[in-house]
Structure 1
Amino acid sequence: MSGLNALLDAVQAEQLEGRESVLATVVKVEGSAYRRPGARMLVSQYGRPQGTISGGCLENDVARKAWWLSESGPVIRSYSTAEALDEEGGEESLGFGLGCNGKVYVLFERIPARKSCTLLDALRNVRSRQRPAAIATIIACCRNSRADVGDRVFLESGSAPHGGLYHPALTERITDDLRLTLDRQKSSLQHYAEGCTEVDVFLEYVAPAPRLVIFGAGHDAQPLVRMAKLLGWHVSVIDSRPHFARQERFPEADFVTCASINQRFEFRELVDGAFVAVMSHSLSQDAYWLKGVLQSNPRYIGQLGPRDRTERLLDGITREVNSQPARSKLFYPIGLDIGGDTPEIVAMSVLGEIQAVMNGRTGASLKLRELKIHESYQLEPGR
């Protein structure tokens, strides 16, 4: 989401100046590629491009040609990442000799200077409302189709679908698959045939920024906040010590508060669906925060400290409460085994483990990986 935040800010800056821009979006990948479908890059008229759609290999060509490619409307351009030039030839295929043996399909479209843009509205809603969306984009169609490249259907969580095609039956089928996309939280490519209309559609799942809740506002929480914000996450910091829980100590954080541990745990809604790090270095605080989080519904809980310390905490919590529905989400000691003990290394270790859990990875070296790089399996908690 970090790239999306910066991209939306760049679009807003261009529109405030009354300038058009071009949005380049990866909509399909064949074989190996650095970025996956959904990666975006904004090409402005005068400023530097914002975002990336590859590892830096394609961006120069995209920036040079974005304007004339999109002058007649949305268009798809394919880029070969194979070692040799693409065999198909033609203006829709470019060879870059990268040796990755893949092909990247990029959608180019103009962003109006001042008029509303439904795509940007949907992306902004994801950011502001912290709710996911699913977006269907036509990326190929037959000659007689009642649809064009770049046509879209939108479905935002908790809202009715909007947008659509000049083909009600096809729109209904796509909308049904958008609901599945929201349920599965995963993007996909689909082919539809309805009468004389055939289209290829990119069904994109757009997730809100991951939420990180840190219980503990010590010195080691500061680099964790900075690094998480660099990734574009939404970060909250909570501590019972007023001299620690101060906004000026965490200027990048979205929410900082001081809360007593002598009252009912009041952050269940905040931690539901969030990634949680308990790291106050205080036995009484950690016991209180961990007990409250274990009775909530987070996606991940990491407890800082030695294994035997956490197990003593858990023994005490179990004597107080029987219900701990989030126990299976608990990781301790928190973080990946990368060595080092500085606050910055600890922060990198913690964020690495959270990222692995978020994406169904093990956190191990890619050298040891048996599956392809973009396939996933689950990292088991409760070590």
Structure 2
Amino acid sequence: MKEIQDIVRAFDAAQREGKQTALATVVHVQGSSYRRPGARMLVTEDGQLTGAISGGCLEGDALRKARLAMMQQKAMFVTYDTSDEDDAKLGVGLGCNGIIQILIEPINPESPSNPLSFLQAFLSRRQHAVLVTLFSLDYQAKEQPGTCLFMSEAGKLVGEHSDEHLQKALVADVQQVLQTRTSVTKTYATPQTALTGFVEILKPAVSLVVFGAGNDAVPLTEMAAILGWQITVVDGRANYATAARFPAVQRVLVAKPEQVLPQLELDEQTVLVLMTHNYNYELAMLRQLLPLQLSYVGVLGPKKKLERLLDELEEEGLQLNEEVLKNLYGPVGLDIGAETSEEIALAILAEIKAILSKRAGTFLRDKVGVIHSREQAEIKQVTLK
């Protein structure tokens, strides 16, 4: 998400300076690679790079090809194969033992269907969206359709393909991806040709709500800002909850517990951390938050404190079954031996990332199998009339 934000900002700056740009997108990966499908990099005509498509080994070659794409005003499909000795001779040296396929598209700002206009539309509203990028795997030298369709949760479709049967199939898959929140890669075959589509889910930035404006909340907000998360700080103390103390956050709310929820937009990408050091404030907030079954609610402090809070809520008659408590985390954070407020912030953010990614937060060294799922490497094929 932060990568998209950075790319859009860089594109806006390039437009003001009258520079040509091209967008490189990882559209398919087989085997191991540093970045996965959906990774992007914006290239300007004078060689400025924003975003990344690898750990640094592809960027130089991609820059040269992007300049060629800008000069020709033609999309280019590029494959980097680590099993190919020629790649090593060229100095690519991936070291990942995978095949990375990248589409490089020159950006025409005059076209309402250019990839950057779609990314700008995505960032304009806090909603999930789907982006479709079409390319030819079998005939890489032929014309590449590129990014062609965009749809947000609001249901408005932007862009179209001239083949009505392909358009119909793409729209159906876009709607399915919006429902499942999972990207798919599929080849759409006709008697004349075959195009592969990367139907990509775009998720809004994580929205982090921090209850508590003490000194220990400062590094948490600063680190979350580096990740590109949208941050709100809430506290009942006006002298603590100030924009001057939290320059990295989008919103600072001074509010009593009963005033907070009406001012928040809660969705599946919203996570909340209670670190007010005020027992009664957190009791009042948990009373409201737990029935909502949010993605993540973390409570700073010892386990005994949380147990006391839950006991008191249960005595009040709040039903605290497994479903209600499954996304409550306290003591908050991964067990990394954190002591300082900065280390605690790191532990909290790592736990949140693991939960949102549906990972256990364990050592990669001990992981059995591959780091990333290989499901996206599987390309389904459908035959169109």
Report percent identity of matched pairs: 35
**SS of 2:248 mapped into structure 1:** coil
**SS of 1:60 mapped into structure 2:** helix
**SS of 1:159 mapped into structure 2:** coil
The aligned residue for residue 337 of structure 1 is: 335
User: 1:18 is aligned with what amino acid?
Assistant: G
Deviation at 1:170, TM superposition (A): 1.2
The aligned residue for residue 381 of structure 1 is: none
Q: 8 Å contact 2:76–2:144 — kept in the other structure?
A: no
The reply on whether 1:306 has 2:307 as its aligned counterpart is no
Deviation at 1:243, TM superposition (A): 1.3
Deviation at 1:373, TM superposition (A): 0.3
The aligned residue for residue 271 of structure 1 is: 266
The reply on whether 1:126 has 2:122 as its aligned counterpart is yes
The aligned residue for residue 11 of structure 2 is: 11
The reply on whether 1:371 has 2:366 as its aligned counterpart is no
Q: 8 Å contact 2:113–2:158 — kept in the other structure?
A: no
User: 1:27 is aligned with what amino acid?
Assistant: V
**Which residues in structure 2 correspond to 1:159-198 (within 5 Å)?**
159-198=155-194
Q: 8 Å contact 1:141–1:147 — kept in the other structure?
A: no
**SS of 2:244 mapped into structure 1:** helix
User: 1:68 is aligned with what amino acid?
Assistant: L
1:153 to 139, 149, 156: 149
2:200 to 193, 197, 204: 204
Deviation at 1:4, TM superposition (A): 1.2
Deviation at 1:141, TM superposition (A): 6.6
The aligned residue for residue 228 of structure 1 is: 224
User: 1:336 is aligned with what amino acid?
Assistant: L
Q: 8 Å contact 1:78–1:105 — kept in the other structure?
A: yes
Greater relative contact order, per chain length (Cα 8 Å cut-off, separation 6+): 2
1 CA distance for matches of 2:316 and 2:114? 51
Cα displacement string for residues 208-253 of structure 1 (whole angstroms, at most 9, x for unaligned residues): 1111111111111111111111011111110111111111110110
Q: 1:47 to 1:57 in 2, by over 3 A?
A: closer
Deviation at 1:64, TM superposition (A): 2.5
2 CA distance for matches of 1:95 and 1:102? 16
User: 1:228 is aligned with what amino acid?
Assistant: A
Deviation at 1:83, TM superposition (A): 7.4
**Which residues in structure 2 correspond to 1:213-252 (within 5 Å)?**
213-252=209-248
Residues 130-139 or 320-329, more deviating = 320-329
The aligned residue for residue 61 of structure 2 is: 61
Q: 1:85 to 1:95 in 2, by over 3 A?
A: farther
Q: 8 Å contact 1:39–1:52 — kept in the other structure?
A: yes
**SS of 1:96 mapped into structure 2:** coil
2 CA distance for matches of 1:227 and 1:126? 24
The aligned residue for residue 76 of structure 2 is: 75
User: 2:326 is aligned with what amino acid?
Assistant: S
Q: 8 Å contact 1:211–1:234 — kept in the other structure?
A: yes
Deviation at 1:270, TM superposition (A): 2.6
**SS of 1:295 mapped into structure 2:** helix
Deviation at 1:326, TM superposition (A): 4.0
The aligned residue for residue 380 of structure 1 is: none
2 CA distance for matches of 1:265 and 1:220? 21
Deviation at 1:290, TM superposition (A): 1.9
Normalising by structure 1, we get a TM-score of 0.89
Deviation at 1:114, TM superposition (A): 5.7
2 CA distance for matches of 1:81 and 1:102? 6
Q: 8 Å contact 2:77–2:144 — kept in the other structure?
A: no
Q: 1:10 to 1:321 in 2, by over 3 A?
A: farther
2 CA distance for matches of 1:195 and 1:326? 53
User: 1:102 is aligned with what amino acid?
Assistant: G
Deviation at 1:117, TM superposition (A): 4.8
The reply on whether 1:357 has 2:355 as its aligned counterpart is yes
1 CA distance for matches of 2:29 and 2:356? 22
Normalising by structure 2, we get a TM-score of 0.89
Is there any run of 5+ residues in structure 1 with no aligned partner, and where?
377-383
User: 2:201 is aligned with what amino acid?
Assistant: Y
Q: 8 Å contact 2:26–2:103 — kept in the other structure?
A: yes
Q: 8 Å contact 1:21–1:43 — kept in the other structure?
A: yes
1 CA distance for matches of 2:91 and 2:200? 26
2 CA distance for matches of 1:291 and 1:185? 30
Q: 1:172 to 1:8 in 2, by over 3 A?
A: same
User: 1:222 is aligned with what amino acid?
Assistant: V
Q: 8 Å contact 1:152–1:164 — kept in the other structure?
A: yes
Residues 358-367 or 47-56, more deviating = 47-56
Q: 8 Å contact 1:26–1:104 — kept in the other structure?
A: yes
Residues 265-274 or 230-239, more deviating = 265-274
**SS of 1:249 mapped into structure 2:** coil
1 CA distance for matches of 2:121 and 2:290? 30
1 CA distance for matches of 2:249 and 2:343? 19
Q: 1:105 to 1:125 in 2, by over 3 A?
A: same
1 CA distance for matches of 2:147 and 2:303? 54
Is there any run of 5+ residues in structure 2 with no aligned partner, and where?
375-385
1 CA distance for matches of 2:160 and 2:58? 31
The aligned residue for residue 20 of structure 1 is: 20
2 CA distance for matches of 1:131 and 1:321? 35
**SS of 1:338 mapped into structure 2:** coil
Deviation at 1:96, TM superposition (A): 2.8
Q: 8 Å contact 1:271–1:293 — kept in the other structure?
A: no
Matched positions, count: 368
Q: 8 Å contact 1:265–1:292 — kept in the other structure?
A: no
**Aligned alpha-carbon RMSD (Å):** 2.4
Q: 1:147 to 1:315 in 2, by over 3 A?
A: farther
